[in-house]
C-alpha cells in the first residue's frame, strides 16, 4: 500500500512538471526587445528588404546570455530608418521568440510605412529599435495584429493616422473586408467615417502618390412616388462636374445608387452630389472631398 502511494505521488509530480504552462503565464515571460537590448541580454539588428508594407523588415537577433531569453516585438513599435529620407516602419504583428543560450536567429517583421511622403526603404537599410508610437497608432496596430485585413487598406489606415491623410483614403474593392478597420479608425479619430472612399493612382517610385483616381461609395435615397431621378455632381463653386443619372424613371421606395466616379483630373476640394426628382425638386444631397 505504501509503495503504491509513493508511485502515485511520483507520477502526479511528474505529470505536473511536464504539463504545458497556460498561455497567459507563457506570455508573461516575454520581455520587450527594447528592454532586452538595453539590459545587454540580446543584440538585435533590423534591415529593410526593399518594400514598405507587409513582411518588410528582417530582424536578426542573438542571445548574449547563458539563460533562455523570451523576446517580444510589440505591435505599435516604430522602427527608425538610419537615413531620414527613408520611411520609418510601424510594427503591426506581434513577434515572440524563445532564444536558447547564445542562440541566433533571423525572422521577418510585419509592418507598415508611417511616413507616406518619404522614400521606400531600400534593401539592407538598417533600422534602430525605435520607440512605441502614440496610443492611436498602437491601438490600430493591435487591431491589425488580430485580423488579416487587405494589405493596401491596412497601409492606408496607418497613413490616415501618421500622416493625416483624408479618412476617405481608406479604400478597398470589397468594403465588407475592411468594415472593422473603418470602425476602428472612426473610434480613434472620434468621427463618423465618410460614406465614400478615394482610390489613388499607383506610383512606381513613391509609396503614396497623392493623386486621386476614383471616388466610390453607396448613395441611399428614398422616393415617395414614382418619378424621374437626376443625380449630378457639382464643385464648391457650383460648376457642374458630372451627370450620374439623367431623368431616369424610378419607383417609390428606397434606392441605393453605387457611386463610381473617375476623378483623375479633378481639382482638390469639396464636391456635392444632388439627387433631384421630377427634374426640379431636391430629394437629398451629400458631399465628398478630394
The pLDDT, as a whole number, for residue 205 is 82
Strands 104-113 and 53-63: antiparallel
Q: With the C-alpha atoms ordered 84, 87, 90, 96, is the resulting torsion angle positive or negative?
A: negative
Report long-range pairs for 166-175 (Cβ below 8 Å, ≥24 apart): 166/194, 166/198, 166/289, 167/191, 167/193, 167/194, 168/194, 168/196, 168/197, 168/198, 168/215, 168/288, 168/289, 169/197, 169/198, 169/200, 170/197, 171/197, 171/198, 171/199, 171/200, 171/216, 172/197
At residue 279 the predicted structure's pLDDT band, cuts being 50, 70 and 90, is: confident
Q: What does the angle CA 259 – CA 250 – CA 168 come to, to the nearest 5 degrees?
A: 15
Is the whole model's pTM more than 0.75, yes or no? yes
Average pLDDT, the chain: 91
Span 212-289 CATH architecture: Sandwich (2.60)
- Mean pLDDT over 52-56 rounds to 98
Domain regions of the chain by residue span:
24-200, 212-289
Condensed to tens digits (0 to 9), the pLDDT of residues 199-216 reads 999 988 888 999 999 999
Amino acid at each position: 500500500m505504501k509503495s503504491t502511494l509513493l508511485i502515485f505521488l511520483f507520477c502526479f509530480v511528474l505529470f505536473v512538471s511536464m504539463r504545458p504552462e497556460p498561455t497567459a503565464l507563457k506570455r508573461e515571460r516575454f520581455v520587450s526587445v527594447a528592454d532586452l537590448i538595453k539590459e545587454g541580454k540580446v543584440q538585435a539588428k533590423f534591415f529593410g528588404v526593399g518594400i514598405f508594407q507587409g513582411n518588410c523588415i528582417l530582424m536578426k537577433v542573438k542571445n548574449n546570455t547563458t539563460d533562455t531569453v523570451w523576446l517580444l516585438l510589440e505591435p505599435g513599435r516604430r522602427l527608425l530608418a538610419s537615413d531620414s529620407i527613408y520611411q520609418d516602419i510601424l510594427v503591426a504583428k506581434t513577434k515572440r521568440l524563445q532564444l536558447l543560450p547564445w542562440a541566433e536567429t533571423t525572422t521577418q517583421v510585419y509592418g507598415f510605412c508611417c511616413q507616406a511622403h518619404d522614400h521606400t526603404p531600400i534593401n539592407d537599410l538598417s533600422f534602430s529599435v525605435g520607440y512605441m508610437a502614440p496610443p492611436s497608432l498602437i491601438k490600430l496596430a493591435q487591431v491589425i495584429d488580430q485580423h488579416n485585413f487587405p494589405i493596401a487598406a491596412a497601409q492606408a489606415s496607418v497613413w490616415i493616422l501618421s500622416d493625416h491623410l483624408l479618412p476617405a483614403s481608406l479604400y478597398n474593392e470589397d468594403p465588407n473586408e475592411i468594415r472593422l478597420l473603418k470602425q476602428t479608425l472612426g473610434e480613434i479619430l472620434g468621427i463618423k467615417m465618410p460614406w465614400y472612399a478615394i482610390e489613388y493612382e499607383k506610383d512606381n517610385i513613391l509609396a503614396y502618390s497623392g493623386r486621386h483616381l476614383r471616388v466610390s461609395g453607396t448613395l441611399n435615397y428614398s422616393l415617395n412616388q414614382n418619378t424621374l431621378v437626376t443625380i449630378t455632381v457639382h464643385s464648391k463653386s457650383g460648376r457642374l462636374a458630372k451627370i450620374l443619372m439623367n431623368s431616369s424613371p424610378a419607383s417609390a421606395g428606397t434606392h441605393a445608387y453605387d457611386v463610381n466616379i473617375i476623378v483623375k483630373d479633378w481639382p482638390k476640394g469639396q464636391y456635392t452630389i444632388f439627387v433631384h426628382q421630377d427634374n426640379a425638386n431636391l430629394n437629398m444631397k451629400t458631399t465628398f472631398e478630394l
